[in-house]
Amino acid sequence: MTTFDIPVRLETERLIVRPHEPVDHDQVATLVTTGDASTALPPGRPSAVEEVMEWLTEGVHGLRRSGAGVHLAIVTKDGELVGGISLHGTDWETGITEVGYGVGPMFRGQGIAPEAVRAVTRWAFSLGLHRVELRTIPENEASRRVAAKAGFTYEGTLRQAQREDDGLHDLLVFSFLADEVVA
Ligand SMILES: CC(C)(COP(=O)(O)OP(=O)(O)OC[C@H]1O[C@@H](n2cnc3c(N)ncnc32)[C@H](O)[C@@H]1OP(=O)(O)O)[C@@H](O)C(=O)NCCC(=O)NCCS
């Protein structure tokens, strides 16, 4: 397997992780108008309601079509779109990918991101990848907790490897390996 271009629908105890769909239009439009889109939707998200349908049918699927990754929606079993999770920077030859995620402010603190990360990591292994990386700036305490709660191992720090609006930051690198999965 060397592509993310296959149907995916991951079910966890509380969540469904699946591609963004046109049926998400109204919820995505609400996220855009409330300003919560910046964390509940992946990079490349629409900035105006008029852009939502085009993003749902085309834009959000560009990463998957490129082969380098995939953006997926995190939805509760009640159908509420609570966040997004992505695999990106995938190197199929070496079997490495990186996970990224965000949860809407209203839904944080319930363990949603770790639950989705665990599911997506195992899915990545099922596609033949063997290493999932997770990178975060040290100042992002919540993201560091996600790495720990999802069972990732801290490997080291890339110094001044990330530029944010307020300047350069170090990047902490965590990973989970396929042979660390406990059945
Ligand atoms: C990082 C993020 C995805 C965590 O998602 P989550 O579903 O809230 O994850 P958890 O519920 O496991 O909480 C993780 C930590 O967030 C903190 N937290 C708890 N409740 C919180 C709340 N209501 N609001 C903000 N942070 C909270 C706690 O430190 C918690 O760790 P703990 O469970 O050991 O106390 C979320 O905070 C987010 O979307 N942040 C902005 C985007 C981002 O930083 N993405 C990662 C980039 S590397």
> Does 88 contact ligand 1 (Cβ within 6 A)?
no
> Does 174 contact ligand 1 (Cβ within 6 A)?
no
Rounded CA-CA distance 52/48 in Å is: 7
> Does 101 contact ligand 1 (Cβ within 6 A)?
yes
Residue 133 has pLDDT above 70, yes or no: yes
- Tell me which residue of 102, 97, 77, 95 sits closest to 87, measured CA to CA: 97
Residue 2 has pLDDT above 80, yes or no: no
92 lies in a domain? yes
Q: How many structural domains are present in the chain?
A: 1
Residue 7 has pLDDT above 70, yes or no: yes
Percent of the chain with pLDDT over 70: 99
161 lies in a domain? no
Q: From the CA of 183, how far away is ligand 1's center (Å)?
A: 27
Rounded CA-CA distance 134/177 in Å is: 11
171 lies in a domain? no
Residues found in the chain: 183
Q: Which residues pair with 73 in a beta bridge?
A: 18, 84
> Does 108 contact ligand 1 (Cβ within 6 A)?
yes
Q: What is the mean pLDDT of residues 23-47?
A: 95
> Does 84 contact ligand 1 (Cβ within 6 A)?
no
How many Cβ atoms sit within 10 Å of the Cβ of residue 117?
25
pTM above 0.95, yes or no: yes
110 lies in a domain? yes
Residue 1 has pLDDT above 70, yes or no: no
> Does 86 contact ligand 1 (Cβ within 6 A)?
no
> Does 164 contact ligand 1 (Cβ within 6 A)?
no
Atom of ligand 1 nearest to the CA of 136: 48
18 lies in a domain? yes
21 lies in a domain? yes
- CATH at 24: 3.40.630.30
Q: What is the mean pLDDT of residues 12-34?
A: 97
Atom of ligand 1 nearest to the CA of 149: 12
Q: What is the mean pLDDT of residues 8-34?
A: 97
> Does 116 contact ligand 1 (Cβ within 6 A)?
no
| Tens digit of each residue's pLDDT (9 = 90 or more) over 68-114 | 999 999 999 999 999 999 999 999 999 999 999 999 999 999 999 99
154 lies in a domain? no
pLDDT of residue 155: 98
Rounded CA-CA distance 49/25 in Å is: 9
- Give the closest residue (by CA) to ligand 1 atom 25: 108
Atom of ligand 1 nearest to the CA of 103: 39
Which residues form the domain of 56?
10-132
168 lies in a domain? no
CA 89 to each of CA 18, 63, 162: distance values in angstroms, whole numbers, following the listed order: 19, 10, 15
pLDDT of residue 170: 98
Instruction: Give the mean pLDDT of the chain.
Output: 96
